[in-house]
Every structure is written in C-alpha cells, then in structure tokens.
C-alpha cells in the first residue's frame, strides 16, 4: 500500500491527506482507506498536487461516476471538467461562479437527485478572500435539542436555484432531516442559498423555522474554513455538509477545475 497519512484538521470537519501523488494510480487498499476517511471527515484535501484534467477525472472515479456538470460550459476539452473562475477572456467568463460571495449550500440540492461528491482543484487563487467554508451537518443535527428534533422530523422543504432557468418544472423537495445513505447518520439538509421554503407550513412559521435551522447549522462551532493554496485538491461530501465561499477582489484571478459525482457514492 502507498504510505500516506490522514491528518484531521482539528476543526469541525475535514482532514488533510499527506504523502500521495495524485498523478499516480492508487492501489485498492489506499482507495479503501481514503473512502473510509472521507466518510469519517466529510472533507479531504491534498496539497501540492500538479495534476492534469485526466488525473482529476481518474481520481474522481475512485469515489463514483464523474458526470459533466449540469450547467453548460462551452469548449470543455474534457466533458467531466467544469471550470470555476472569475476570469474573463474577450469579455466572456471562462468559468462559473464569478467573484461574489456564495452563501451556504449543498451542491445541486435544487435537483431531485442532488450531487453527492464534489472535487475542486486550485490552479490560481487570489491573495485574499475566495476562501471556502464547510459546515458539518451531522454535528449540527446531533446538537439539536430533542424537542427540535421531534418538531422537524418528517418535514420537507422546497429547494430552488435563484437562477430560475436552472430549476426543474416541478418543485424539488427534500427532507429537512436527511439520512446519509452510507453512514446512516442524520443531517440537517437546508441552506440559505437553495432552500426556498418548508413545505406544508404557513409562511411566517415556516420562514422562522427555516431561519432558525439555518442559523444553527451554520454556527461557527460547526464550520471549518479552508484557505486555498495553488495545488490543493479538495473533495467534499454534499450529503452531510454545506459550503460557502467568501467574495474576493474581481481584479484578482481565481481559477479551478471541478468534477461532480452523482448517485452511487463511495461504494
Ligand atoms: C462549487 C462551489 C466554491 C468555491 O464549486 O460548488 O460552491 O470555493 N465552489 O469556488
Ligand atoms: Mn457549491
């Protein structure tokens, strides 16, 4: 087996994996350990990587099927690679997400089958800002008092993207408390960016409950922040985390490659 270490961040979630070169194929036992660490820590990151798009897609396959991102992006040399960037060429953005703040969300929760795992590889990063934070949905659920757990058990919420063209014709609903299919643990599954309202509740009470759950789930004690370095590859589990990106100066360049896994998961 490759010799490597998994070092927990000591924060609300996440671990760094040291000692692997992701240009190389990984052995079966290494992949097994990485899958276990990923389920335990929800976020894994690898620093100092110098990988190609092919390497990123191959690495992604150890965890499930990489799919072309649902949002169109012209001129992709490799279909499964989606560019996240604020850079423009000839006045056209070369990637998605710009330089604005992106509020907490779980990827693609506005779809009936949301994304399971997302991977992001940093090629250029701004000097300041553009950091990404993850909130641990297990920890925030576990910390709820029994009364709140009982109150939200069985509720569903409608998820909707602010860009309406991305939404499905029928409203997308997900349980407010979701069970991770692989760990069997419960998670709070609402977000300020993509959860529109709680179903079957009157407007004011529903809004108040949603705000309360979001405030709780994004409380600093459940959140870990990543300061990007060039060469970082980071992967996260959308089934038990939400993430948020801080804004940055649009005159600086941020350029990343991203892959997306749907369905299946790590087994
Ligand atoms: C994403 C995303 C955050 C970032 O790619 O899904 O939310 O830091 N990115 O770019
Ligand atoms: Mn995202």
CA distance 254 to 99: 8
In this prediction the pTM is 0.96
Q: What is the mean pLDDT of residues 49-59?
A: 97
- Helix residue ranges, H only, the chain: 28-41, 53-61, 137-142, 146-152, 203-217
Measured in Å, residue 90 CA sits from the centre of ligand 2 at 26
DSSP-based three-state secondary structure for 104:
strand
| Segment 167-224, tens digit of pLDDT | 999 999 999 999 999 999 999 999 999 999 999 999 999 999 999 999 999 999 999 9
User: What domains can be seen in the chain, in order of their start residue?
Assistant: 5-90+115-128+226-239+249-262 (3.60.130.10)
* Residue 99 near residue 250 (C-beta atoms within 8 A): yes
Q: Which atom of ligand 1 is nearest to the CA of 228?
A: 8
Q: Is the CB of 97 under 6 A from ligand 1?
A: yes
Measured in Å, residue 150 CA sits from the centre of ligand 1 at 33
Pick from 60, 80, 93, 120 the residue to mutate for probing ligand 1's pocket: most ligand atoms within 8 Å of its CB. 120
* Residue 226 near residue 120 (C-beta atoms within 8 A): no
The percentage of the chain sitting over the pLDDT mark of 90, rounded to a whole number, equals: 91
Residue located nearest, by CA, to atom 3 of ligand 1: 245
């Amino acid at each position: 087996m490759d010799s490597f270490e998994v070092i927990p961040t000591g924060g609300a979630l996440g671990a760094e994996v040291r000692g692997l070169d992701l240009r190389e194929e990984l052995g079966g036992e290494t992949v097994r350990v990485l899958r276990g660490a990923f389920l335990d820590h929800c976020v894994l990151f690898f620093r100092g990587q110098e990988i190609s798009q092919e390497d990123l897609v191959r690495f992604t396959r150890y965890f499930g099927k990489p799919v072309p991102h649902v949002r169109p992006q012209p001129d992709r040399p490799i279909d499964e690679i989606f560019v996240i960037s604020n850079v423009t060429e000839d006045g056209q953005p070369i990637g998605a997400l710009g330089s604005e703040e992106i509020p907490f969300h779980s990827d693609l929760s506005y779809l009936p089958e949301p994304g399971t795992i997302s991977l992001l590889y940093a090629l250029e990063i701004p000097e300041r800002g553009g950091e990404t934070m993850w909130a641990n949905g297990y920890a925030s659920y576990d910390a709820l008092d029994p009364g709140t757990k009982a109150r939200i058990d069985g509720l569903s919420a409608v998820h909707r993207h602010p860009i309406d063209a991305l939404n499905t014709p029928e409203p997308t609903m997900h349980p407010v408390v979701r069970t991770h299919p692989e760990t069997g643990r419960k998670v709070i599954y609402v977000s300020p960016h993509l959860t529109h309202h709680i179903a079957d509740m009157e407007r004011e009470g529903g809004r108040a409950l949603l705000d309360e759950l979001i405030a709780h789930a994004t409380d600093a004690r459940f959140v870990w922040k990543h300061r990007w370095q060039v060469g970082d590859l980071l992967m996260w589990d959308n089934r038990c985390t939400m993430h948020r990106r801080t804004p940055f100066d649009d005159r600086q360049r941020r350029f990343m490659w991203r892959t997306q896994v749907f369905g299946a998961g790590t087994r």
